[in-house]
Structure 1
Amino acid sequence: MTVQDIRSFNRFYTNVIGALDYSRPLYAPYTLTEARVLYELVHSPRTDAADLRAELSLDAGYLSRILAKFEQDGLIERTPSAKDSRRRRITLTARGRETADLLDERSGQAVGSLLATVPAAERPRLSEAMGTIQEVLSTGRPPRREDVVLREPGPGDLGWIVQRNAALYTADYGFNLDYEGLVARIVADYAEDHDPHLERVWIAELHGRAVGCIMCVRDEAPGAARLRLLLVEPDARGLGIGDRLVRACVDFARDVGYREMVLWTNDILSSARRIYQHHGFVLVTEKPHRSFGVDLVGQDWRLDLQGTQD
């Protein structure tokens, strides 16, 4: 393969997806870069310019102009950070979310139209080829935090959540099939009946591979959200994925109006508990129990979503 081969493919692909065709209203009235910034804000609702700059490798002045445009259009609000006065938190407004949803819908329709031209029998080969490109170009360098993308689940992802929870908890803690049954019921309940405005699942993806997940669902207590099934693959730990997943879950719950967030875990999950504490969760109760074939100490944690925000 030569440099010209890669450049030729890039020209072909940008033409196929219409990235340079400004006559198409795919992201109008925004550019591709502006649409990407909006995408990042949707998946990290409370962030700041420094985080966005590192995540997208954008010039500081260019990003500042984009954010000024968003603020003028009523898509974002900028407020001082409670932890660092030198930073300003960027938060999507309701109009910003609507705009991001519209752009995402257009993008999905465009890709769907493109896939419709590909015979069904050829789609697995296309998907495998795309995965190969990502894998090969990522070989030889360690993964970076900015390589991780948080996204909504696609086909097969909910099944992946069940499978990986069962496999990892069996390998790490000796859980039996009862735990897989519990996770399967949680996921099935979400798949069959969930309110997309109040409940959500996030998948953490690294180089085209799912490496983490988390769920936000309604709790039985009025005004409470429940955090469930936080998981990060062992080979992807150390990239801050667990922290990003919990932050996304908490920010979503706060933004849609929940008063508090609760979760149940076990004391053996020390890394997860440190993340919960970092985000302000407080241990409420703990009680020994025997579940999943092992002796455990269950813990209930709570976070006041109406308190001080970062």
Structure 2
Amino acid sequence: MTHVDYRLPLAARDDVVVRLVRPDEYEAVADLSERAYTIEYEISDDYLASIRDIESRAIEHQVWVAADAASGALLGTVATPRRGNTISPLAQDGELDFRLLAVDPVARGRGIGDILTRHTIEIARLRGLERVVMNSGPQMVGAHRLYEKVGFGRLSERERIIEVGGRSFLLLAFTIDVPVRLRLDEKIAG
């Protein structure tokens, strides 16, 4: 499999680079994701195995990493579907979904979750999609605050009760409309 590095026109900060994960980083991204999810949440062994399965996810979808521009240290990760696909049952036509946003606990407070979330919205915009949607567990209140700060709202009509490890809970859904940027040669009407 060929790896391609490129930078989307999102580069809001010079100190962090968002790019696709490289195969030699799968284990490090799995460790980062495990630290991010297990520091605050009790998760099942099956869900932990899914979180750590970076290689399979990178083959089927796109796994993005946020890396420190100076040191190369991995700071966070998020997964998006390849063009024309979805990564969860939540997404409908015209929507991009994402999963498993994780920020290394040592990198929290640096805006990494914000960068990765906005990166996902930019992917949707570049693909000509109308909305970004995602699911989140009810206990992930820190993540919910991030999504609300970015502009996501609840998509309650698509929330559903799921059972994991013998426990039932409401899987929350969030959405944001994708902003449309005007080309420089376009004029704003009115």
Q: Give the structure-1-normalised TM-score.
A: 0.46
Equivalent position of 2:28 in the other structure: 160
* CA deviations over 1:154-208 (Å, ceiling 9, x no partner): 12333433333334423421212111233356751441x44xxxxx432112322
Q: How many angstroms does 1:153 deviate by?
A: 1.0
Rounded Cα–Cα distance in structure 1 between residues aligned with 2:166 and 2:44: 6
Q: Counterparts of 1:148-297 in structure 2 under 5 Å? A: 148-184=16-52, 188-191=56-59, 193-194=60-61, 200-206=62-68, 207-217=71-81, 218-219=85-86, 221-285=92-156, 286-292=159-165, 296-297=169-170
**Mapped contact 1:216–1:253 kept (Cα < 8 A):** no
Aligned to 1:300, which of 163, 168, 173?
Answer: 173
Rounded Cα–Cα distance in structure 1 between residues aligned with 2:165 and 2:30: 15
Q: What runs of 5+ residues in structure 2 fail to find an aligned partner?
A: 1-5, 183-190
Aligned-pair identity (%): 27
Q: 1:156 is paired with a residue of what secondary structure?
A: helix
**Mapped contact 1:267–1:299 kept (Cα < 8 A):** yes
Q: How many angstroms does 1:293 deviate by?
A: 6.5
Rounded Cα–Cα distance in structure 1 between residues aligned with 2:108 and 2:17: 14
- Which one has a bigger Cα radius of gyration? 1
**Mapped contact 2:29–2:54 kept (Cα < 8 A):** no
The alpha-carbon distance between structure 1 residues 228 and 257, as it changes in their structure 2 partners (threshold 3 A), is same
Aligned residues: 166
Letter in 1 for 2:80: C
The alpha-carbon distance between structure 1 residues 187 and 278, as it changes in their structure 2 partners (threshold 3 A), is farther
Q: Give the structure-2-normalised TM-score.
A: 0.71
Letter in 1 for 2:31: Q
Q: How many angstroms does 1:233 deviate by?
A: 0.8
Rounded Cα–Cα distance in structure 1 between residues aligned with 2:39 and 2:175: 28
The alpha-carbon distance between structure 1 residues 290 and 186, as it changes in their structure 2 partners (threshold 3 A), is farther
The alpha-carbon distance between structure 1 residues 292 and 241, as it changes in their structure 2 partners (threshold 3 A), is farther
Greater relative CO, 1 or 2 (CA 8 Å, sep 6+): 2
Rounded Cα–Cα distance in structure 1 between residues aligned with 2:93 and 2:107: 36
**Mapped contact 1:176–1:293 kept (Cα < 8 A):** no
Q: Counterparts of 1:123-142 in structure 2 under 5 Å? A: none
* CA deviations over 1:43-80 (Å, ceiling 9, x no partner): 4x246xxx56xx3xxxxxxxxxxxxxxxxxxxxxxxxx
Q: What runs of 5+ residues in structure 1 fail to find an aligned partner?
A: 1-38, 56-145, 195-199
Equivalent position of 2:186 in the other structure: none
Q: Greater helix percent: which structure?
A: 1
* CA deviations over 1:9-32 (Å, ceiling 9, x no partner): xxxxxxxxxxxxxxxxxxxxxxxx
Letter in 2 for 1:188: S
